[in-house]
Structure 1
Amino acid sequence: MNRSAAILLAIATALPIVYIFYFFAAFDSMSGQMTQEEMQAKFDLLFRLHLGTMALIGGLLIVYIIYLFRTEHVPKDKKALWAVVLFMGNILSMPVFWFLYVWKPLQRGSVAT
């Protein structure tokens, strides 16, 4: 994986975390003085964003699992553990995995596969 692909992966990995903060802020603002139509429109937007974020997380999970089993930067005895951690902790563990096994090998000068 080259540097630009790793940065794009980092941005895609950060989007669900950013969305969580947006979701709570937007949901909190729905409790204010809004008409029924405004509330329905905002709810529809949040619903679509939520579905998109869930699809993005699913896609990221596939990308990370494929990368995990194809790369040589993760020790063989830790691959199964990382697969479980990525699957169970997805948006919390993906940034850690990205930093340790995608970004650091690029910084050391070795090409990640």
Structure 2
Amino acid sequence: MMLEAALLGVFLALMALMFPLPRQAAALRQASTARQTAVHLAQQELVELAAAARQSRPQEPVHTGWLGPDEDLSRHVRAYEVMGEIVPDAAGWQLRSSVSWEMHGAVVSLTLEKWVGAHGKGK
């Protein structure tokens, strides 16, 4: 009888320890989805920045906000802020796209960079 009570106590303790796992899994899934969306937006911004750099051929650094379609930025569950930068160098432009969003009360961000040559060749 004592052994059964001890086993039942251990079993209940294990169940209590596993209670937060589904909530943690949902939070990880939500964070992963938000990051995937941010990477997609940053990549799209880099494409827009490359087109803008080749078209206008800036000689001074250019700082921009979101260059893509407004509906691409507004259709997501959370708000994303996208910033772009074009920095000229001797043979082309260094492009930088930064995306930030709020997750669990903290601001999270990521930055992607790409070099674009003046004649359309990347490095």
Task: Check whether TM > 0.5.
Answer: no
User: Greater Rg, structure 1 or structure 2?
Assistant: 2
More strand by share: 2
The one of the two structures with greater contact order (alpha-carbon pairs below 8 A, sep at least 6) is 1
**TM-score with structure 2 setting the length:** 0.33
